[in-house]
Amino acid sequence: MALMTYAQAAALALERAMAADDRVVVLGEDVGRGGIFGQYQGLQQRFGPARVIDTPISEAAIVGAGVGMALAGLKPVVEMRVVDFALCGMDEIVNQAAKNRYMFGGQGRVPMVIRMPIGIWDASAAQHSQSLEAWFAHLPGVVVVCPATPQDNGSLLRAALDCGDPVIYLEHKTLWGLRGEVEEAVQAEIGRAAVLRRGTRLTVVSWSRQLLACAEACAQLADEGLDAELIDLRTIWPWDRDTVLGSAARTGHLLVVHEAVQAAGFGAEIAATAAEALGCRVKRLGAPRIPVGYAPVLEAQARVDAGAVAAAARALLG
């Protein structure tokens, strides 16, 4: 066990992968100086500019180059800086990376990890604060990962590099400094959720930074005698139906919480699946359908805090 940050755990996992496999390369803006969050710190100094490649400011070119590298036998890690900037490379993601294996009958594969930090970035306004995981969950051909802890950001990044298909890897913009114990030997399985808290009255499902608010809300509810089970989904696609449905079947109540806009968010998929399979009581909680404001008072309106989560839980339990 070692104490490290969310960013350090990812950098260490990537360093180990690059040392073990010459096919692993990194490309993106500012990766040579360590990335804007320090998630590539020291990698160019160790592996050189031919494997940690600084690129022009063109997301379409970066993703397109990554797709070509992957088809040629490399395992590129493509840096988008933030998910908001990935919108400039969506054609390459949606029409090239995601579809290649299917359209060519499996003759080509795109073992590429595309890192796109999501979420509200403090005082960064509408163009730098989006959570777009539902967009990629809707896209056949890609895996979607949302690590919430330093341990998972190391373990899931290794799993993503071994996946063999394009992985949309969604770290949170404000978790980089989060510290926690990390054990390198721990393996993570894509598609496997983690139960963080056991409970009998209510199942709460969330992912990424929103877990912090949910954990706080669960503690508040416990003080009121309402015992909630908290599940970290960890991967959005594939998602762990067995763990979620098994918990919801026991508690009879399911609350899905995410930082993304509630309308058409991925929480709707989980809630609908549980309602169809179990007939349990379900509720979704997400952000209002508004742009994230720059002013603190406006930004706060787009956040789903622990108080809102606890209130939604009480309402669901009646």
C-alpha distances in angstroms, 169 versus 40, 130, 248? 15, 15, 27
Beta carbons within 8 Å of 304's beta carbon, 6+ residues apart: 210, 213, 257, 258, 259, 285, 286, 287
Tokens of 157: 């990044």
Rounded CA-CA distance 190/251 in Å is 25
Q: Cα–Cα–Cα angle for 12, 85, 232, nearest 5°?
A: 55
Which DSSP state fits 172?
B
Place of tokens 């969950």: 137
Mark whether 253 is an active-site residue. no
Q: Which of 313, 156, 173 is nearest to 229 (CA)?
A: 313
Marked catalytic residue, from 128, 172, 253, 258: 128
- The continuous run of DSSP H or E covering 157 comes out as helix 150-161
Contact call for residues 184 and 7 (beta carbons, < 8 A)? no
Beta carbons within 8 Å of 135's beta carbon, 6+ residues apart: none
Place of tokens 């802890």: 149
Terminal C-alpha separation, the chain: 43
Can you state the percent helix, strand and coil of the chain, rounding each to 5?
A: 40, 20, 40
State the catalytic residues.
Answer: 128
